[in-house]
Amino acid sequence: MKRFASIAFGTATALFLQGCAGWQSALDPKGPAASELAWLIWFFAGLCAVVWVLVMIALAMPLMMRPREPAEPLVLDAGADNRKLRVVMTAVGLTAVILIGLTLLSFFANRTLAAIGSDAALTIRVTGHQWWWEVRYEDATPSRILTTANEIHIPAGEPVRLLLTSTDVIHSFWVPSLSGKLDLIPGHMNVLDIKADKPGVYRGQCAEFCGAQHANMGTFIIAEPRAKFDAWWNDQLQPAAAPMSGEAKAGEDLFLNRPCVMCHKIGGTPAGGTVAPDLTHVASRQTLAAGTLTMSRGNLAAWIADPQGVKPGSHMPVVDLSGDELNAIVAYLEGLK
C-alpha cells in the first residue's frame, strides 16, 4: 500500500512538473490578463481546498466516534440538536460571507481585465473559419491593411485589440498564457484585448466545438519587439516573391491553372481566392494547416498530396497531381517567404 502511494505520488508530481513547461497553459501566464487570472485561479482553488478539507473533517468526525447507543431513532437529545443548529447556522453564515467575498473579487478582477486594452493602438480582426483563422491587420491607410492566417504577430509589451467574428460556425479564440477565451460568433463582433509582456511564441487553439477538425485549429501569437514587428508588417505587405528556379516557376503556373487558385490568394499573382488562407507569405509561417504540421518542404508536400489524411474532414480538397507537379508546387510555395 505504501509502495503504491509513493508511486502514485511520484507519478502525480512528475505529471505536474511536466505540465508547467507548457506554452499553452493558464498556469504559465505571460501577459497581464493571464497573470491576473492565474492569481484568481490559485486563490479560488486554495480557498476551495480549505473548505473541502473542513467539510471532510466534519464528515470524518462521526466515523471516529463511538457507535450510537441502540436507542429508538426518534428519541433525540434536544440540547445536542440545538447546539448543532448553532453550528450549522454559523457554517451557513460563513459560506455566505465567503461567497460574497468571492463574488466581489471576481467583479474587481473583471474590471482589471477590462482596463488592460483601453489604450490599444493596434486593431486586428480575427475571423474564424472551419478550421483556420483569418487575421487582418487594420490600418487607416488602406494599402497597409494586411491579411494573413493562423499566426498573429503582435508587438510585445503593447496592448492589442482583437475584433472577433466568424463567417461559418461559432469558434472561440483562446491563448491561455495571454488571456481568457472569447467566442467568434457569426453575426456578432466580440472585442478581446491582449498583451504579451515579453517576446515569445504563445500557442492557442479553438475552444468552442466547431466540427470535424476542431482539434486541429491552432493559432500562434508571436510577440516581437516593436521594431521587428514593424519590419514584419512591411515585409508582409510586399507581393509574393517571384519564383527563383525553373521548377518553382513551373509550380506557379500549376498553382494558377489548378483548383488551388479558386480558394487561395497569392498577392502579386492572379490568384485571388478568399475562402482559404492567404498564401502570399506562407513559407514565412511556422506551421501549416492551422498548427497541424510544422512548416517544411516535406510537410507542405504531405498536406497538398493528402489533406484528408492529415486533417480528415477539412475543406482542402485533394487535387490530382503527379509527383513532379507536386514537387513543383511545393518548390514554388516554399519560396513564398
Contacts of another protein in 95-114 (CB under 8 A): 95-96, 99-100, 102-103, 105-107, 109-110, 113-114
Cell of 78: 434536544
How many of the chain's residues bind another protein (CB under 8 A)? 101
Q: Using CB under 8 A, which of the segments 12-20, 133-141, 146-154, 273-281 binds another protein?
A: 12-20
State which of positions 264-293 bind another protein (CB under 8 A).
Answer: 291
Task: Provide, rounded to whole angstroms, the least separation between the CB of residue 257 and another protein.
Answer: 30
Q: Using CB under 8 A, which of the segments 10-18, 116-124, 231-239, 326-334 binds another protein?
A: 10-18
How far is 220 from 20, CA to CA, in rounded Å?
Answer: 19
H or E element: which one contains 315? none
Q: What is the DSSP string of 255-303?
A: HHHSTHHHH-B-TTSS-B--SS---TTGGGSSEETTTTEES-HHHHHHH
Q: Does 320 participate in binding another protein (rule CB under 8 A)?
A: no
Q: What Cα–Cα distance (Å) separates residue 30 from each residue in 160, 162, 174, 203, 206?
A: 14, 17, 14, 11, 19
How far is 227 from 234, CA to CA, in rounded Å?
Answer: 11
The residue (of 156 and 207) whose beta carbon lies closer to another protein is 207
State which of positions 24-43 bind another protein (CB under 8 A).
Answer: 24-27, 34, 36-37, 40-41
Contacting residues for 22 by C-beta, under 8 A, at least 6 apart: 28, 177
Q: Does 262 participate in binding another protein (rule CB under 8 A)?
A: no
Contacting residues for 13 by C-beta, under 8 A, at least 6 apart: none
Q: Does 10 participate in binding another protein (rule CB under 8 A)?
A: no
Q: Does 79 participate in binding another protein (rule CB under 8 A)?
A: no
Q: Does 78 participate in binding another protein (rule CB under 8 A)?
A: no
Q: Is 268 left (phi over 0), alpha (psi -120 to 50) or beta?
A: left
The residue (of 65 and 227) whose beta carbon lies closer to another protein is 65
Task: Provide, rounded to whole angstroms, the least separation between the CB of residue 274 and another protein.
Answer: 17
H or E element: which one contains 165? strand 160-166
Q: Map 217-249 to HEC letters.
A: CEEEEEEECHHHHHHHHHHHHCCCCCCCCHHHH
Give the residue from 37, 20, 5, 280 showing the smallest Cα distance to 148. 280
State which of positions 158-217 bind another protein (CB under 8 A).
Answer: 164, 168-170, 172, 174, 176-177, 179-183, 185-188, 190-191, 203, 205-216
Give the count of beta carbons closer than 10 Å to the beta carbon of residue 139: 14
Q: Does 125 participate in binding another protein (rule CB under 8 A)?
A: no
Q: Which of 7, 10, 13, 84 binds another protein (CB under 8 A)?
A: 84
Q: Using CB under 8 A, which of the segments 78-86, 146-154, 234-242, 256-264 binds another protein?
A: 78-86
Task: Provide, rounded to whole angstroms, the least separation between the CB of residue 6 and another protein.
Answer: 16
Q: Does 227 participate in binding another protein (rule CB under 8 A)?
A: no
Q: Does 7 participate in binding another protein (rule CB under 8 A)?
A: no
Q: Does 67 participate in binding another protein (rule CB under 8 A)?
A: yes
Q: If you ran DSSP here, which 8-state letter would residue 316 be given?
A: P
Q: Using CB under 8 A, which of the segments 94-102, 137-145, 224-232, 252-260 binds another protein?
A: 94-102
